[in-house]
Amino acid sequence: MLALVFWVGITLMFLDFSGTLKCFLGWMAKIQFLPAILALNIGAVIFVAALTFLFGRIYCSVICPMGVYQDFVNRIAGKFKKRRFKFTPEKRKTRLIILGVFVVLMVAFSPLAALIAPYSAYGRMISSIFQPLYISVNNLLAKAAEHYDSYAFYGVEVWLKSGATLGVAIVTFLIVTIWSWKSGRGYCNTVCPVGTVLGLLSTKSVFKIKIDANKCVNCSLCEKNCKAEAIDFKAHTVDYSRCVSCMNCIGICKKDAISFTKNAAKPSSNEPTDSGLRKALSTGALLAVSSVVKAQEKTFDGGYAVIEDKKIPARDCPVKPAGSRSLRNFSSHCTACQLCVTQCPNNVLRPSSNLSTLMQPEMSFELGYCRPECTRCSEVCPAGAIEKITKEEKTAIRAGHAVWIKQNCLPVSEGVKCGNCARHCPSGAITMVKLPENPSVEVPAVNSERCLGCGACENLCPSRPFSAIYVEGNEVHGEF
């Protein structure tokens, strides 16, 4: 029951784009084990460790959304097939090797580690595959609402944020779903690094599932219903490293032979630690000279000028949201769970497609810009990659700086008066100045010391597809 609450809660949070649920459910993400470790959220880590030490891997069967998802799938599978589970010996070596590789990758800040991290993998599945569906339904409702002149729903754009991440999400979804359809918690008990770590703890847990050999009539019901495939009914043993304390066996046993009783053990812990930074590699070629919208000769009234879609400029340094402090801090904490991406109301955050920062969110400003009043991503991040900031703090954080590209700038290329970047700069970092070689032309001059890197200038620049002013990220976010 509690498991259902957690699972539905977290799933809804990933689906929700309006930012209302995070106020009530944000804590559910914050107690996720891996993000909590990365955020150095000691309270949450101790809570999960203690819980496991006392009762075994309850975390896996209640709190972890990926775990509950697997139960959900094999419960449906159970409706279709009779014979379900069969004890299989633990693949201890595989588990430890995967855990080892995972830890090494984490320490090396490779985003590849996040591929198998349960919470973030689940987040990607929901945000990449299911949120677009959810939003589409919402948009239908919004259309209906519009028809009835109601403002209860509003339309939200659906767009492909990153093909690579969607691909990863689909592969994850297929693997996990098929695996759990066939054999319950296979992913959980073979691949999942959190499962392995907690499994080490749970073998020593205080309370454990015990089979009373005297009462047992070897009916094998418990084994057949153990989704972790951890019960060997013939030997009357349970593999505690894989048992997730779901208690299904206790309920199913007709002879009351199974109980959840006290035992003694020693706790242990395993945490990855920080080390050097992997610099982002993206350098990219110079920006292509944009083909700007040409003012058309007007002979008829009405109609729209065609607006070419903006293209992403090649940024030397990716822009990370205010609150991430630095590239290094960001990439060492982010598990690429996509919660911030699902929450961004301005279509700014999207998962990176760059191999060295794969799936980790970064900012770009083709569809909107980072609004001064919004701090949603910082409020939801469970891993400490984006630390919580207030609106006021945000106005003093320099996440990037604007760079002017002369040949794209309309006053230079077309001779029109513009200044839209300066007009909309929320921090007043842009001044329009006379061009030295042609004083009749006014162009933007950027004061990098004042620039926040919000991307208003880039987003509102009339030059298309490449803006005449774009944001370069700051490796370390300065403050005023």
Partner 1 sequence: MSEKNINRRDFLKLAGAAAAVTTVAMTGCSNAETTEKVTGQKTTSKKEIPTDKMTYRINPKTGEKVSLLGYGFMRLPTINSRSARENAQEELDQETINKLTDYAIEHGLNIFDTSPNYCQGRSETAMGIALSRHPRDKYLISTKLSNFSPTQWSLEESVKIYKNSLKYLQTDYIDYLHLHFVGATAAVDDQRLSGMETFRRRFIDNGLLDFLLKEREAGRIKNLGFSFHGDIDVFEYLVDEHEKYHWDFVMIQMNYVDWKYAKKVNPMNTNAEYLYKRLTDKQIPIFVMEPILGGRLAKLPVHLEKMLRERIVENSIASWSFRWLGSHPNVLTILSGMTYMEHLQDNLSTFCPLQECSEDEFNLLQRVSDEFINFPLVPCTQCQYCMPCPYGVDIPASFTHYNKCVNEGYISVSCQDKEFVENRRRFLIGYDRVVEKKRQAAHCIGCGQCMPHCPQNIKIPEKLNDINDYIEKLRQEKL
* Residue choice 146, 271, 316, 449 for contact with partner 1 (CB under 8 A): 146
If you count DSSP H runs as helices and E runs as strands, how many of each does the chain have, helices first?
21, 10
Min CB(130)–partner 1 separation in Å:
23
Cβ proximity to partner 1: between 9 and 155 the closer is: 155
Min CB(374)–partner 1 separation in Å:
9
**147 lies in the site for partner 1, by CB under 8 A:** no
Structure token digits, residue 149: 């002149």
Query: Comparing C-alpha atoms, which of 316, 321, 318 is closest to residue 344?
Result: 321
Q: Which residues are within 8 A (CB) of 15 and not within 5 positions of it... i.e. 6 or more apart?
A: 126, 130, 131, 134, 342
Min CB(460)–partner 1 separation in Å:
6
Min CB(417)–partner 1 separation in Å:
6
What is the distance between the terminal CA atoms of the chain, rounded to a whole angstrom?
49
Binding segment for partner 1 among 50-58, 63-71, 173-181, 305-313 (CB under 8 A)? 305-313
Cβ proximity to partner 1: between 80 and 300 the closer is: 300
* Residue choice 23, 264, 286, 306 for contact with partner 1 (CB under 8 A): 306
Structure token digits, residue 406: 């002369």
Which amino acid is located at 471 in the chain?
A: V
Interface mask toward partner 1 for 205-234; x: CB under 8 A? ------------------------------
**440 lies in the site for partner 1, by CB under 8 A:** no
CA distance 220 to 235: 11
* Residue choice 2, 96, 133, 307 for contact with partner 1 (CB under 8 A): 307
Min CB(299)–partner 1 separation in Å:
5
**159 lies in the site for partner 1, by CB under 8 A:** no
**345 lies in the site for partner 1, by CB under 8 A:** no
Q: Are 249 and 209 in contact (CB under 8 A)?
A: yes
Cβ proximity to partner 1: between 267 and 462 the closer is: 462
**433 lies in the site for partner 1, by CB under 8 A:** no
Min CB(370)–partner 1 separation in Å:
13
CA distance 124 to 333: 16
**293 lies in the site for partner 1, by CB under 8 A:** yes
* Residue choice 198, 238, 418, 451 for contact with partner 1 (CB under 8 A): 418
SS3 361: strand
**301 lies in the site for partner 1, by CB under 8 A:** yes
112 burial (CB, 10 Å; 0-12 / 13-18 / 19+) is: middle
CA distance 450 to 478: 10
Is the backbone peptide bond immediately before 426 cis, with ω within 30 degrees of 0? Answer: no
DSSP 146-186: HHTT--S----------HHHHHHHHHHHHHHHHHHHHHSSH
CA distance 434 to 362: 34
Min CB(137)–partner 1 separation in Å:
17
Min CB(293)–partner 1 separation in Å:
6
What is the SS3 assignment for 382-434? CCCCCCCCCHHHHCCEEEEEEEECHHHCHHHHCCCCCCHHHHHCCCCCEEEEE
* Residue choice 371, 376, 398, 477 for contact with partner 1 (CB under 8 A): 371
Q: Are 221 and 259 in contact (CB under 8 A)?
A: no
Min CB(453)–partner 1 separation in Å:
18
SS3 357: helix
- Beta pairing class for 397-404 and 469-479: antiparallel
**372 lies in the site for partner 1, by CB under 8 A:** yes
* Residue choice 247, 447, 460, 478 for contact with partner 1 (CB under 8 A): 460
**154 lies in the site for partner 1, by CB under 8 A:** yes
Min CB(463)–partner 1 separation in Å:
10
Cβ proximity to partner 1: between 285 and 306 the closer is: 306
DSSP structure class, residue 319: B
Cβ proximity to partner 1: between 261 and 407 the closer is: 407
* Residue choice 417, 434, 476, 480 for contact with partner 1 (CB under 8 A): 417
* Residue choice 89, 303, 436, 439 for contact with partner 1 (CB under 8 A): 303
Cβ proximity to partner 1: between 139 and 326 the closer is: 139
Q: Which residues are within 8 A (CB) of 14 and not within 5 positions of it... i.e. 6 or more apart?
A: 123, 126, 127, 130, 131, 338, 339, 342
**141 lies in the site for partner 1, by CB under 8 A:** no
Binding segment for partner 1 among 27-35, 87-95, 369-377, 446-454 (CB under 8 A)? 369-377
How distant is the alpha carbon of residue 383 from its chain centre? Answer: 10
Contact residues for partner 1, defined by CB under 8 A: 142, 146, 151, 154-155, 157, 293-307, 367-368, 371-373, 410, 416-420, 423-424, 460, 462
